[in-house]
Amino acid sequence: MLRRLGFIVPLFLMLISNKSFAQTDTLFWFAAPDLQQAHGDRPIFLRVATGNEPAFVSISQPADPSFPILSFFVGANQTFSQDLTTLISRIENGSTNAIAKKGLQIRSDKPINCYYDIAGSSNGDLFALKGANALGTAFTVPFQVDLNTTNRINATFTADIIILATEDETVVTITPTTPMVGIGTGAFTITLNRGETYVVTASSSSATSKPIGTKVTSDKPIAITTKDDSVDLGFCIDTAGDQIIPDRLAGREFVLLKGYLSSSPDFYYVLAIQDNTIVTTSEGTSVTINAGQYYAGKLNNESVYVKATNPVHVFQISGFGC
């Protein structure tokens, strides 16, 4: 049994405009990842927090009418945890290159914050649900490229991109940057209905084969979850994943704060969505990258300031302990 002293936290950083306020919303879509039970994939919870107003919240799967609708009331300035573990086989998205009906919709009559919590002690992760900020029609997908997926447990661990449609007859085009299982690297198109999901999986467990920069476009709003199950930090292994944001919310200025990894620096990746993007950092770096390319940095100091001439995504791997 692997000892786990800490956890890895992926941070997909975004610029907040005057019209978008963090993750507070009344409607959330989410496609849950499938972690290997051999390393830990349960219990799972939806954690909800209210503001100054009480809220009535419901969880459903619009593509699967047989899924039991879960409803609950949360008082003002309170939190609530809905245990979803008994429904895990109906929630996790694990079948590669197949359409499933597992997209979750969370509705509230008042603004709330919520996150999906894989609360196991060995391989846990938190996925912040971003409401309207998660929806878009063009995504440049971030991944880390410094840590291999583990081969130290007798199970198959994968790096996945999980796509969720919010409207019927949504045409999605995926253009991978690295070979994907059963697909290769050529662009391909799928059609999804409201609440349906689709998983594409990296064909290699090596760090350099992660599908960073993969482009996903659609003719109607979609949401995307990434999962990098059990990445290997040496003594410990842990999952890194997030509900990502679309290219329309990419920013030009970021401040990254170092976490508490004891055996490694933080890793961060500046991912361009336009050609001829100049990235500079407070550590003296200046590089030019094109759309789908990235600058990989290591954060040893307490913080770093990142600036770009065009909008970019920044994906940071941090954590606590090892």
DSSP conformation class of 90: H
Query: Can you list the alpha helix ranges (DSSP code H) found in 170-264?
Result: none
Q: Is 72 exposed, middle or buried (0-12, 13-18, 19+ CB in 10 A)?
A: middle
What is the torsional sign of CA 283, 287, 291, 293? negative
Distance of CA 192 to the CA centre of its chain: 20
**Least confident piece of the model among 1-15, 22-36, 71-85:** 1-15
Q: pTM higher than 0.85, yes or no?
A: yes
Are 180 and 163 spatial neighbours (Cβ–Cβ below 8 Å)?
Answer: no
Region 258-286 average pLDDT: 95
Per-residue confidence at 114, pLDDT binned at 50, 70, 90?
very high
Number of neighbouring beta carbons within 10 Å of residue 121:
8
Helix (H, G, I), strand (E, B) or coil at 117: strand
Higher-scoring residue by pLDDT: 233, 27: 27
> What's the distance, CA 70 to chain centroid?
24
Rounded percentage of the chain residues whose pLDDT exceeds 70: 93
pLDDT band at 19 (very low <50, low <70, confident <90, very high): very low
CA 271 to chain centre: 15
- Give per-residue pLDDT as tens, 212-237: 999 999 999 999 999 998 788 887 88
- Domain spans of the chain, in order of start: 7-321
Rounded Cα distance between 230 and 239, Å, is 4
Tens-place pLDDT, residues 153-208: 878 899 999 999 999 999 999 999 999 999 888 899 999 999 999 999 999 989 99
What is the mean pLDDT of the segment spanning 231-248? Answer: 90
The H or E element containing residue 88 is helix 88-91
Residue type, 107: R
- Tens digits of residue pLDDT in 74-99: 999 999 999 999 999 999 999 999 99
Both tokens of 241, joined, read 């994943």
Strands 303-321 and 260-261: parallel
Residue 63 pLDDT > 90, yes or no?
Answer: yes
Question: How confident is the model at residue 121, as a pLDDT?
Answer: 78
Q: Is 223 exposed, middle or buried (0-12, 13-18, 19+ CB in 10 A)?
A: buried
